Each structure stands twice: as C-alpha cells, then as structure tokens.
C-alpha cells in the first residue's frame, strides 16, 4: 500500500475492505444489563427474518458504505461492485475481501473483465485482492459489523419490528466514519490523522 500512498491520498485509488454481514432478527438478542440474580428474556417472534448487507470501508476516509441485498451471491456481488463504481466514478478501486466462492464466480470474473476491458492491469477500474483464507480478523469491516450488532442489542427496546432493527443497523453503519486500530494495520493513510 505504501507504494500507492500518493494515489490513495489524492483519491486516484480508493482502497476498500469489503465483506458481507447477515443480520438476523435473532441478532437482537445478546447481553444486556440487568440484575445479576434475574434472567432477562426478549421475545423473538420470527428468527428466520434476515437481511444481507454488503459493506466496504474506505482505508483513507474511513467511511463505511453498505447496501442491502437479498443474499450473498454473484448477482449481489456484481450489484455491489456497480454501486462502488458509482460512488467513485473517477477513481480506481482496490477491493480487499475474503475468498467467498461467489466473489470468485465466473459471473464476477466476467463482469470484472468487462469493466477493465482494454486497460493495462495498473489502470484497472477494479482490482480485487484477497485476505488469507479463513481469517476474518484481518478485515477491518468485521469490527464495524460487531459494533453495529452491539448497538442494536443496546437499543433493543426500540426494536419492535425487524424493520426497526434494519433501520438502526443502517443508521449506525452507512456513510459513518470509523476509527479502528485494525485500519492502521495496513499503513497510516487516514485523512483523520
């Protein structure tokens, strides 16, 4: 990343850490404060309600972008890539994420080939890189998912419906700026410092 510092700082290259989060109605349950000698129970009417979110955090601005999707698959991955391109129309994108099979599907490869068609590799609009397999601790956006789920658990009393859960999740993540130590694992590029 250090070799690309000038381009990252100037906005010519936007580095995103990407992942998906599956939000379930049951995520509302968790630890809450209460008397130590009393068990606290929260009623769950439908544990099968869920929403998949694709998300990416910008290494430089530390701004998180999320998009709700029906599920994690090739079509949703391509839709999220299109969304990121729309957010950064004049920049190249380096997208670092896990190696989910639908990130590596033929449909995604075909889309990336179409987007980068005729360009030298150094000029590709989107370059996808992978973290080491089976190690979510490397990805800074995992901390955002954790913080968002912790937030909705703390405000469970506002969540009378799954729509309220989704609203709070989106409120605390989308376009918010995060300052996690894990972001600096990959170099100190933050515009906030």
Task: Reply yes or no on whether the pLDDT at 21 is more than 70.
Answer: yes
Residue 38 banded pLDDT, cuts 50, 70, 90: confident
Question: Rounded distance, CA 56 to CA 193, Å?
Answer: 20
DSSP 8-state symbol, 134: T
Residue 159 banded pLDDT, cuts 50, 70, 90: confident
Question: Rounded distance, CA 111 to CA 107, Å?
Answer: 6
Nearest by Cα to 129 from 93, 90, 180: 93
Task: Reply yes or no on whether the pLDDT at 10 is more than 90.
Answer: no
High-pLDDT (> 70) share of the chain, %: 87
Question: What per-residue confidence (pLDDT) applies to 185?
Answer: 76
Mean residue pLDDT of the chain comes to 87
CA distances from 59 to 72, 92, 191 (A): 23, 13, 9
Task: Reply yes or no on whether the pLDDT at 103 is more than 80.
Answer: yes
DSSP 8-state symbol, 132: P
Residue ranges per domain, the chain? 2-30+45-186
pTM: 0.85
Residue 131 banded pLDDT, cuts 50, 70, 90: confident
Buried/exposed code over 50-61 (b: 16+ C-beta within 10 A; e: otherwise): ebbbbbbbbbbe
Question: What per-residue confidence (pLDDT) applies to 44?
Answer: 53
Structure tokens that stand for 74 in this block:
């090739």
Task: Give the right CATH number for 2-30+45-186 from 3.30.420.10, 2.102.10.10, 3.40.640.10, 3.90.1150.10.
Answer: 3.30.420.10
């Amino acid at each position: 990343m250090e070799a690309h510092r000038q381009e990252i700082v100037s906005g010519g290259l936007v580095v995103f850490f990407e992942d998906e989060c599956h939000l379930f109605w049951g995520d509302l349950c968790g630890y809450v404060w209460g008397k130590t000698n009393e068990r606290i129970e929260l009623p769950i009417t439908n544990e099968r309600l869920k929403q998949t979110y694709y998300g990416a955090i910008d290494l430089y601005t530390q701004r998180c972008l999320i998009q709700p999707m029906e599920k994690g698959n090739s079509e949703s991955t391509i839709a999220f890539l299109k969304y990121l391109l729309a957010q950064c129309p004049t920049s190249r994108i380096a997208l670092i994420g896990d190696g989910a099979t639908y990130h590596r599907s033929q449909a995604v490869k075909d889309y990336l080939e179409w987007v980068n068609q005729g360009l030298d590799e150094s000029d590709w609009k989107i370059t996808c890189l992978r973290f080491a397999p089976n190690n979510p601790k490397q990805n800074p956006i995992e901390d955002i998912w954790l913080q968002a789920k912790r937030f909705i658990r703390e405000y469970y009393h506002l969540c009378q419906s799954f729509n309220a859960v989704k609203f709070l999740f989106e409120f605390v993540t989308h376009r918010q700026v995060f300052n996690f130590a894990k972001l600096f694992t990959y170099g100190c590029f933050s515009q906030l410092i």
